[in-house]
Chain A
């Protein structure tokens, strides 16, 4: 199905119809070893709402960045306003009538929405009364969009709650919809808005796009929004467009199936990375429990029951026992990092055991996603970087026992295959090797709970494979592992995966259920745990197919 989708799309791209506001040809963009866009052929048509969906790291944000001028592609062209360009600046994109609302919001918090409107549309609002005029224009547009009256347009944006600011930014992006504006891109711009207001906004957008021949591109984690208004839905995975659905073909079940199946079909290279490591399914799990709990059952390291770590984590429920490889999934930025940080902080306090029902003393170690910022100590050698983790047993009267430091660091360097001498400065190593150094430091503390915040981000496949093996080896030896990953393949290695959404652990997948399609289904949309059970009938086909393969 993916090939047919791409074929259909290339037809659109080749003979660019006059309706295309923006089209991309062979757009490529890489961040280090990660390929964010791999020859994307995307087009936004006038008068249409295009839904852009895909899991974490599918390349949506990079594509949007290229269209709106925030990112510069490595290769390929963007056709806009009848010209082919290699890249655009934000100003150039705006001159072409392209406006973008980004998930993290971008308007200055100290200005009012009226002032922002004056700044954003200098040619429209002029003269002494420009702020008043802009305010009136914003207010009337806001009323049209959301059916609500704005009390004032002169308050600083910072005084509004996040959801209101999102609505105001969306409103600002559409200010010139009658003339001048040709494409509005909303990147998760409705994430904080409630269902009723979102429905109004969607209806308004759908009408406006049609009446004023405007193109709208929408990315959202709520698939129902795409289903309700999109004329076309483009599914992305691993930097590539894998399918384009139109009109009635757009259904939630179909999108989930495409994303789940696509993630599997398009990760051949990654599958190799994971494939080298035998997935421990039910049989592996049993053997591990035999290894882990020497006497009998494995003891509890962490047991959270509806715990909150304000403001990002609202309700977390999870259990980690010795030898568990517990994954944390869901769309990036929904409180997963904060959850891990909270568990790490608590595990370092003595009252942790009482509060969380741990039955053994916990020695937690943490590995973060970015070794350069939160991992290595750049002025130090590899040896000093690693040995810091082992100070409990490399110490003699508060001083470093250098002979033991040398031997145990050398052993760790061998075990993790760090390619670098222990005496070498750590900042001379590659990112992957720096991450190995951070891992080595974590292991030096002989932890029984290892907390991993997306530790393989931006690391090459060979290194990843080694690291996967290491995690499984650790779990087999009785260490509990809590692993947040933005990559579905990695989560498939886990015994069970908690899916986090809006700061809550909304679902748990165990054993055979830890699959791409289920993870995608749970991460997205209003599909709750029960609904996943229903769609599993539809999703089962793709799951079975892949098993047969």
Chain B
């Protein structure tokens, strides 16, 4: 044993085992390698273009973008956690959960006569139930996530379509069903800041703290990079899968409530643009679609980017077909830059 312990004396410890101190060069290097950089640059450019078109109102443009983009960024954050789990995990049930959440809360609040707290609790519980359902189908029935979440989503959609035909008040008389409190949060603000922007920025910061520091995120990102290695390191991967789908569904359901308040009630197609939109912001924001790398500020900025893009095509007053072509070309172009950034790393 003598020889053994000798070979493990620390005399061979490598020098400089401390991380290199952050010189300007290092900082610059890491900024260039930052995977959220392309979308950040794109957003700034779009911001300038849109602001110049609206007579140089930079502040107002930024504020409205933050408010409108907040909804997408919140749904995108939920999607980010799902995608980070890797193995093709993706939550396509988002738009249906969002819409159902709006109707559910609207039915309970019923224009201000019901309890707001109860509505929130029920909406969260609904989100958790959907998350568990999604994860159960994926993990235990071994259905690919893309199919499983669509199937669960269609079940939910059938639910609110059915409710809509029988209880006409749900689908048609939904205007301002969510009450003044929710509307105020969704549309109001203080000191030049909308509440929605504050909520979105707060959630981005919290999500990033979770990604940096929590053991949950460490295990999640580990699983996303290598499922086999994570399992062999003792990560309970099924439990993580359930958690991320719950996060995504709860976020979507709560955004549904806020969006309902913003547009003055639920509508059957209110969630449509969030299905691909939530996935797009995750990828544009610099997360790996294959999982294992997530970037919460990038997702927030990407949500602003998409919002600005839609604003721009509105301003340009082009036909809807051309609008979609412009959007498509710009997103593909940006994605190719994000993709090449990965290769440089």
Contact = CB atoms under 8 A, between A and B. Distances in A.
Contact of A413 (B5, B17, B20, B293): B17
A388 B218 contact: yes
B7 A465 contact: yes
Given A379-B293, A400-B218, A466-B8, A389 B1 contact: no
Contacts of B292: 377, 379
Contacts of B19: 421-423
A379 B225 contact: yes
Contacts of B230: 377
Contacts of B229: 373-377, 438
Given A417-B13, A470-B8, A473-B1, A377 B213 contact: no
Interface of A is mostly: mixed
Contact of B7 (A388, A399, A442, A469): A469
Contact of A476 (B1, B16, B215): B1
A364 B293 CA distance: 28
- Nearest first, the 5 closest Cβ-Cβ pairs linking A and B are A423-B19, A469-B4, A377-B225, A414-B13, A374-B228
User: For the side of the interface on A, what is the size category?
Assistant: 35 or more
B267 interface: no
A230 B19 CA distance: 62
B225 A378 contact: yes
B81 to A, nearest CB: 15
Interface stretch (A240-248, A272-280, A350-358): A272-280
Given A374-B226, A400-B215, A414-B13, A277 B233 contact: no
B222 A377 contact: yes
A24 B219 CA distance: 51
Contact of A473 (B5, B18, B218, B228): B5
Contacts of B288: 379
A177 interface: no
A391 B215 contact: yes
B214 A399 contact: yes
A423 B4 contact: no
A194 to B, nearest CB: 35
B17 A402 contact: no
Nearest to A444: B233
A129 interface: no
B191 interface: no
B20 A388 contact: no
A376 B233 CA distance: 10
Contact of A402 (B2, B213, B216): B213
Interface in B271-319: 288, 292-293
A374 B232 contact: yes
Interface in A416-446: 417-423, 438, 441-442, 445
A505 interface: no
Contact of A469 (B3, B17, B216, B218): B3
Interface string B212-242: 0111101101100110111011110000000
Nearest to B210: A399
A395 interface: yes
A366 interface: yes
A284 B288 CA distance: 51
B29 interface: no
Contacts of A400: 213-215, 218
Contacts of B3: 276-278, 469
Interface of A: 276-278, 280, 284, 287, 344, 348, 364-368, 373-380, 384, 387-389, 391, 395, 398-400, 402, 410, 413-415, 417-423, 438, 441-442, 445, 465-466, 469-470, 472-473, 476
A348 B235 CA distance: 11
Contact of B1 (A280, A387, A402): A280
A466 B229 CA distance: 23
Contact of A388 (B4, B216, B233): B233
Interface string B156-172: 00000000000000000
Contact of B10 (A387, A388, A414): A414
9 contacts: A280-B1, A364-B234, A368-B232, A373-B229, A388-B219, A389-B233, A398-B214, A399-B213, A441-B233
A108 to B, nearest CB: 25
A280 B4 CA distance: 11
Interface residues of B, number: 36
A380 B293 CA distance: 9
Contact of A421 (B17, B218, B228): B17
A374 B232 CA distance: 8
A402 B212 CA distance: 10
Contact of B225 (A287, A380, A469): A380
B14 interface: yes
A375 to B, nearest CB: 5
Nearest to B1: A476
Given A421-B14, A469-B7, A373 B228 contact: yes
B12 interface: yes
A344 B292 CA distance: 24
A428 B172 CA distance: 60
A53 to B, nearest CB: 34
Contacts of A470: 8
B7 A466 contact: yes
Given A284-B1, A466-B8, A421 B215 contact: no
Given A375-B229, A377-B225, A399-B215, A472 B4 contact: yes
A352 to B, nearest CB: 14
Interface in B67-98: none
B1 A415 contact: no
Contacts of B5: 469, 473
Nearest to A382: B17
Contacts of B218: 384, 387-388, 391, 400
Contacts of A389: 233-234
A465 B8 CA distance: 11
A469 B222 contact: no
A365 B233 CA distance: 7
B222 A420 contact: no
Contacts of A410: 17
Nearest to A438: B229
A276 B7 contact: yes
A374 B230 CA distance: 8
A469 B8 contact: yes
Contacts of B14: 413, 417-421
Interface string B1-37: 1111101101011101111100000000000000000
A524 B19 CA distance: 51
A415 B331 CA distance: 49
Nearest to B227: A374
A367 B228 CA distance: 11
Contacts of B1: 278, 280, 284, 287, 472-473, 476
Nearest to B12: A417
Nearest to B288: A379
A415 B10 contact: yes
Interface string B131-169: 000000000000000000000000000000000000000
A384 B215 CA distance: 11
A367 B232 CA distance: 7
B2 A377 contact: no
Nearest to B6: A469
A398 B216 contact: yes
B28 to A, nearest CB: 17
A445 B4 CA distance: 22
A364 B234 CA distance: 9
A317 B5 CA distance: 32
Given A374-B232, A400-B213, A414 B4 contact: no
Contact of B17 (A280, A384, A414): A414
Nearest to B215: A391
Nearest to A341: B232
Nearest to A421: B17
B199 to A, nearest CB: 22
A167 B159 CA distance: 57
Nearest to A413: B17
Contacts of B228: 368, 373-374
